[in-house]
Structure 1
Amino acid sequence: MKKILVILTGGTIGSKVEGKIINTTAASSYRLLQLYNEKYADDTGFEVIQPINILSENLTPVEWGVLCNCLLELDFEKYQGIIITHGSDTLSYTSALIGTMFENCSIPIVLVASNLALGLPGSNGMNNFRNAVCFIKSSDINGVFTIFENNKGEIPVYLSTHIVESDPFTDQFRSFTGKYFGKMIDEKFVATENYPCLMESDDISLAETYHHTKPSDISLAQKHQYPAKSDDILWNGNFDNKILLIHPYPGLNYNNIDLSSKPKAVLHYMYHSATACTTDGYSIIDFAKKCNDLGIDFYCASFKNKDAALYDSSAKIVNSGVIPLYNISCEAAYAKLIIMYNAD
């Protein structure tokens, strides 16, 4: 039987509590497998690697590059599946990145985290890991997924490009679609019927300045044909070309944003109605024009439907020449852009 590859990256699931400080250690990361083998005496074989070991709030595109290069060096056919252990703070971002880059992978890749350090009362880390193992062994579904038990005792399975970051008060994740892809029930995967298909979320208007083509709606997957074989993915090996991510709030003064480092693109996530301020002195339109004058591509998300009626402010934003993205989470939009602008 093929083994499951476990990629340890640190995070709470790989941390140790000493006094009132929680931090990663080399030994604590491997404790997960020790505890698993003590609790579940099954026939599962594991291979374990640890390319990085950090608390996930300290994650940067450098560590993303290490993780992605690690995956690209693998022969997927050697494994039954892959489990990536991760911190919860940036779990949704790394989920979106891996889910985008390896969307057509030939085996299941499952990301898991823990709400508390292993061994503490109420920790869900072991349960998440156990259900990732069961999902890989029994679901017969390939792709990239994220598993994280909620406070109702349910064990949701998310499409990794649809999970959005945890609420800071309840520590609960949610799906961008409002529905789980499925749940693990008695260690078996049960799919959600009529799960929303967000085809428009794959559409990105590619900027002429970057791709030297007429701007048109092209699926990132179609453009780069990300395949089942990891060694064919068109990525230059790092994330040196940066994307600036902006969230709106009342009073956001775009004059305070320094563009001297010249990011390759700006991703401006918007209010839920696909709006942002267009008032003089606080106008997203003026800022977008400034970016365009500097040769910085400007994307806005998330619009709901290409044919839907728009608020006056939204229509002005779209007509100003920004590149709209449809039905896509903030994390997934950021992941797609940072991959696209660092592609060969």
Structure 2
Amino acid sequence: MPEYTGYVGQSLEFLKSNDIVVGDSVKILSDLTYSGIVMPRYEHSDDKHIVLKLNSGYNVGLEIEKIKKVEKNKTTQKIVEKNEKIEHSQGLPKILLLSTGGTIASKIDYRTGAVTPVLTAEELNSSVPELAKIANIDAQVLFSEYSENIMPEHWLGIAKKVNEFEKSDYSGIIIAHGTDTMHYTSSFLSFALAGFPIPIVLVGSQRSSDRASSDAALNLIGATKFITESNPKGVYIVMHQDENDNTIACHLGTRVRKNHTSKRGAFQTIGDNPAFIIAENQILKNFSKDYFKINGYQPKINLDTKVALVKYHPGYDPNLLNQIIEMGFKGIIFEGTGLGHIGKTMYESVKKANEKGIFLGMTSQCIDGRVRMTVYESGRDLLDLGIIPLENMIPEVALVKAMWVFGNYQDSEEIKKIMLQNIASELTD
């Protein structure tokens, strides 16, 4: 029964004997006095505790045997879903919010204890009322997927949807997205929509909205302020700068990666400071160049997934590379060691790939710095075998760029040229 979700055995009998159901506001005397709302429990939890959501936003489990007294408040709060109509205010800029899923659009599933993508874009907006004071938000749900389930075909869908608003009256577009693969999506949008006239901002959260430590609201507010007060062209990822709640970082979409599994400040700009910092209601600009390195808006919304990212390591079996070659891949991006090296056991396979006309690009496993393949003899050997050094392009960005290039260009020389051309700040000085 929904009013007792997750409660069984002793805990279920406790609720029934005290005429309490999930959603009731109660005051409980145990080792301390606790006030809060009775929450559902995970389906596989024990039967010796009940769960309260305290006024602070944190959940606490209380052992039934230690509970001395229970008082049911007259005013109870049922747990309901928000889906309020979004009202517009005259004079405020318009922003389009596209929801694709992820933790920022998630809450706890009390049947399994897992975080599930269930919130709609309207619910995202209504759960952060501060947004309505900054901009008029229109919301659409494209799909609801965790980022590990977002595939290149999803990138195409997002890009095509964004492209529809090239000549709209929106000041910018926010895309709510899971964090794990967010920088892959931001990279593709940067190439496919190069020159887009209004800012595209991807925003996520490391912790779901159920948690008191959630970063969802502040990241959304930061993204909205960034668009309305800075209005920069380009594709950006906007997330917490660190564990504190007073600084939001705005990263270039092709120069960022997720460097921590769970910290709220997980995203970092590689090789530089974030392009913009939002702190104390001020936006500090570190990036003074144009994000897009081309003139005009030139959308090219195609891709080819027959590109492999190969992370070299001691003991790498060249037969794995041979399999990639035989499978008909058109491009191979190596994530080499140091300045851009792979072991000589790979040379024959690399030669074979080059003879088949496969594009071969080299990036580095090092977080900072750039590929320099002329320093050592091994690097020069790889250059002779046809590998192209990709400067300081991030490996994942190089993979996405190659997919995009092969989807839009056919000539092998032009492909090499475009891979080395700085289109969306993927290469830095």
Question: Which bin holds the TM-score, normalised by the shorter protein?
Answer: 0.7 to 0.9
- What is the RMSD computed on CA atoms of the aligned residues? 2.6
Shift in CA distance, 320/198, structure 1 to aligned 2, threshold 3 Å = farther
Residue 327 (1) aligns with residue 392 (2): yes
Shift of 1:31: 2.3
Q: Quick check: 2:222–2:278 contact (8 Å CA) kept in 1?
A: yes
Deviation beyond 4 Å, 4+ runs, structure 1: none
Taking the aligned partners of 2:132 and 2:138, their CA distance within structure 1 comes to 16
For the 8 Å contact 2:97–2:121, the answer to whether it is kept is no
Q: Is 2:383 aligned against 1:318?
A: yes
Secondary structure of 1:42's counterpart equals helix
The TM-score with structure 1 as length reference comes to 0.81
Percent of aligned pairs sharing the same letter: 24
Higher relative contact order (CA 8 A, sep 6+): 1
Superposition map of 1:77-156 within 5 A: 77-153=168-244, 154-156=247-249
Name the counterpart of 2:128.
Answer: 36
Q: Distance in 2 between matches of 1:146 and 1:169?
A: 17
SS of 2:171's equivalent in the other structure is strand
Q: Is the contact made by 2:256 and 2:267 (CA closer than 8 Å) also made in structure 1?
A: yes
Q: Normalising by structure 2, report the TM-score.
A: 0.66
Opposite residue 115 of structure 1, the aligned amino acid is Q
Find out whether 1:188 has 2:282 as its counterpart.
yes
Query: Using a 3 Å threshold, how does the CA distance of structure 1 residues 40 and 161 change in structure 2: closer, same or farther?
Result: closer
Name the SS of the counterpart of 1:147 in structure 2: strand
Deviation by residue 1:256-307 (Cα, 9 ceiling, x = unmatched): 24224312211112224222222x3xx2x3222222233322111248376x
SS in 1 for 2:390: strand
> 2 CA distance for matches of 1:170 and 1:249?
28
- The amino acid across from 1:158 in the alignment is H
Q: In structure 2, do the counterparts of structure 1 residues 234 and 183 end up closer, same or farther at CA, with 3 Å as the change threshold?
A: same
In the alignment, residue 339 of structure 2 is paired with which amino acid? Answer: S
Partner of 1:276: 342
1:36 is paired with a residue whose SS is: coil
Measure, in 2, the Cα distance between the counterparts of 1:51 and 1:261.
33
- 1:42: Cα distance to partner? 0.9
Deviation (angstroms), 1:250:
1.9
- Alignment-derived partner of residue 37 in structure 2: none
Matched, 1:263 2:343: no
- Matched positions, count: 307
Q: Given the alignment, which residue of 161, 170, 179 partners 2:273? A: 179
**Consecutive unaligned residues in structure 1, runs of 5 or more:** 203-220
For the 8 Å contact 1:128–1:155, the answer to whether it is kept is: yes
Q: Give, in angstroms, the shift of residue 52 of structure 1.
A: 2.0
What is the deviation of 1:28? 4.7
Paired with 1:59 and 1:106, the residues of 2 have a C-alpha distance of: 25
Matches within 5 A, 1:179-218: 179-192=273-286
Report SS of the residue matched to 1:79.
coil
Q: Which has the larger displacement, 329-338 or 132-141?
A: 329-338
Q: Is contact 1:9-1:51 (8 Å) kept?
A: yes
Which secondary structure state, in structure 2, belongs to the residue aligned with residue 291 of structure 1? helix
